Structure 1
């Protein structure tokens, strides 16, 4: 009897011990910076989620939903599905989100547990973001949203609708969830750079991410004593200059707040196949657009991560898309056509052009990227065809959101062109930042050209492409003394003080708003004052909007994505009887020429 009892006790202990081991397992599936890419791309017209192995497109919510189901079935009670922000803004689907809440609700239906707020969630302003969430709530809800460092303005009503969602706990500073015996604390952060590039978020501001993180982690540990703390950080990191390590806000966050166990990173669109480990903190990021799904499989033992396995799962044509998700997306396309695109004589799937090569933005080689010059040329052409002259046009690399890909057949649709220049919304309610026109002197063009040289040297989002402007530099000269000669539309520009003529620049309102801030950006070294055609200083770009059709009542705003479509129409037709992008656009940026003395 004693032997039986001892044997039973030993078996029970082993069973409980084994059960405890099982309870420490956790699977985390994660994405970041999806930017409303509900459809796969490469180009979008070739995306066919219902059939496998018939296209080369990447991404798509239908495929992602299938992966969620497959991976979660392996560990159903111990799986978290997370996103690190910028889930919105980047395709025609975001156009209808404020009215329908479609994408946010779809994310919940797909299985997302938590996400955080990125800078592009504020593209239409705090009230519009609140409207999106309220619309999704009426539709059936959205994933839990966590953000710990948002600060609302007590003296402004412009953020009251979003603040109410925080007060009503529809958006949380943090959350605590139980998964398979583990207590997990989850919180979110909006990074400093992300906040800086979100001008439409005003009057919302942020607390310093490290301070908010430190306070939140301390509170979580004292009150909830979690086994794991996960931060959804829309802050990001980049490879170091030597390529041997990583630098950036999330790297510093891990150093300053070491009790964070895992940082699911976003904002910088960096794809890593192995986790970064800073002391005991793991940092991961999948790139962007849900082209890959991140998967973490870990064990926690004695309050510490004992095993951390990480991989990226390609979201490609080997995965058959979820049919229900596909059907819902197709219904939403019908809605977008009816309520938005039909008003400007377009439809989502309309074929508008053809290409025999890729046009891309490569942040590692922006000078040789050919998409920037193409967009700048399109803007200038579009205005000229409508009787509006501009001496030169400018486009920032950071506003170009998608490459133009040949794919298998090179067919380009309206949706493909929109994805290229998808940011913002005009004062007319039609998506896309509107084009505007300002005037500066020849001397200021010289100053601006020096800034162009600096921006191109530093790369990143601020690399500026131009059409109509050609700058000749001596790279050996000192900073702000490099520009030797300037040509406007093939003619030399006299940029001496005696030339008092005003010259016109066209760009979208987002980019032009930075022109007047050059003095601050250059630490007082350079001043460029935007003016109207009469030479009066301009502070509100709304007053400089281009009216593409003055014969109609009100201002008919000019959009860059429409400029792309109109520019395509100017080309000769190719094999598919569609306008074919000419071979000369295989070249990169040739608007800056280096010359020696």
Structure 2
């Protein structure tokens, strides 16, 4: 019998295994905004409408422009925008957060897919955080950024956390969230770490369950519900050891909880230039603090179901970036509210210098000039 060449070729192709199809996705991430909407540096020097004329870094209007650029670069590739917590507390903007919900409103405006609740969100107590969420929800409605907290527990015998629990009951605070994007099913959950809880006395009567036990339980639920990629939004932190390696609660949790594919971290204010690979597989990333950087983690997902790091970059947010005009206008509106409610009645202006010094005022946990200035005042 004579076989035609085309039939032979078809038979050979049918017998060959199909090539593996890799799917790619991108995660953009920030953490520890600390209400730093105008950038890091003197407020009266921040100039988002122009470039290369001030030394300030960060600024949410510049971040907005950078986000638009990175989304465009990703093209049709699935992309998530996530935050590692502590979006509030640290500048004059937090003084009106309960009335305005400014940080959450801006996070929603920028299109964040989720953020974990950090310890500084409780600095005005649970009722204060509830007020922030209420104010932001009044302004943004269903477009409000989802807040994640898997290990937060409410006290049924204490009314002081009832207003916050009401937001959880309404689905504005979630233990976990599933997002399907570009054919990939992502499972997100959020944890507040033991150290973060320990340094936050205003959290009570809210308590937080053990992160490791909660993670095991939540990862299992996410897998049962079809999550292909499990992402932990963690406000737990990492610390560098004397030998240059990285440890901390985020690393230790991944070592104890199989099934966490990616950790978007916060709390320790570390700008990791490259992911910390735990077990040679799971990347832990963190983008410094105060919107000085935007992290970009590019991943691939093979047919073996294992996500792998393709590329990672920390994008500097600085005066080389023109700020988004719409976001700048919104920040100016919030500045006006701060001035009217907090400053003008006391005879001050938002951008008014109160003092000038000829040396840097450090602010770490050592004997510093800033600490001496405050304590001696």
Q: What does the per-residue CA deviation read over 1:153-186, in whole Å, with 9 as the maximum and x for residues that have no partner?
A: 0101110111111111111100111122211110
1:25–1:297 CA contact under 8 A, matched in 2: yes
Establish whether residue 54 from structure 1 lines up as the match of residue 53 from structure 2.
yes
**1:32 touches 1:289 (CA, 8 Å); kept in 2?**
yes
Q: C-alpha separation between the residues in 2 aligned to 1:265 and 1:152?
A: 24
1:329-383 CA distance string (max 9 Å, x none): 11111111112212222221122222222111245xx23x3221121112xxxxx
Q: Secondary structure at the match of 1:64?
A: helix
1:396-411 aligned within 5 A: none
Contact 1:25 1:180 in 2 (8 A): no
Structure 2: 5+ residue stretches without partners: none
TM-score (norm 1): 0.59
Question: What is residue 135 of structure 1 aligned with on the other side?
Answer: 135
Residue 330 of structure 2 corresponds to which residue in structure 1? 328
Partner of 1:472: none
Check conservation: 2:43, 2:351, Cα contact below 8 A. Answer: no
Query: Which protein, 1 or 2, shows the higher relative CO under an 8 Å CA cutoff with sep ≥ 6?
Result: 2
CA offsets 1:34-69 (integer angstroms, 9 cap, x no match): 101000122222110110111111000000001110
Deviations 1:267-287 (A, max 9, x none): 111221011111122111111
Match of 2:192 among 190, 193, 198: 190
Distance 1:2 1:49, change over 3 A: farther
The answer to whether the Cα contact below 8 Å between 2:297 and 2:309 also exists between their aligned partners in 1 is no
Deviation at 1:17, TM superposition (A): 6.8
**Residues 35 and 86 of structure 1 are in contact (CA less than 8 Å); yes or no, is this contact kept in structure 2?**
yes
Equivalent-residue separation in structure 1 for 2:6 and 2:349 (angstroms): 79
Aligned to 1:72: 71
Alignment correspondent of 1:286: 287
**How far apart in 2 are the matches of 1:223 and 1:321?**
40
Give me the TM-score of the superposition, normalised by structure 2: 0.92
- The alignment partner of 1:45 has SS state of helix
Matched, 1:173 2:172: no
Equivalent residues of 1:32, 1:84 under 8 A apart: yes
Give the alignment partner of residue 148 of structure 1, picking from 147, 150, 153: 150
Unmatched tracts of structure 1, length 5 or more? 379-597
Deviations 1:382-412 (A, max 9, x none): xxxxxxxxxxxxxxxxxxxxxxxxxxxxxxx
Aligned residue number for residue 555 of structure 1: none
Aligned length: 367
Structure 1 pair 359–243 and aligned structure 2 pair: CA distance change class (3 A): farther
Tell whether 2:28 aligns with 1:29. Answer: yes
Runs of 4+ in 1 over 3 A off after TM superposition: 1-4
Q: Which residue of 2 aligns with 1:317?
A: 319
Say if 2:234 is the partner of 1:233. yes
Deviation digits for residues 486-518 of structure 1, max 9, x if unmatched? xxxxxxxxxxxxxxxxxxxxxxxxxxxxxxxxx
Of structures 1 and 2, the larger Rg is shown by 1
Change (3 A) 1:203 1:42: same
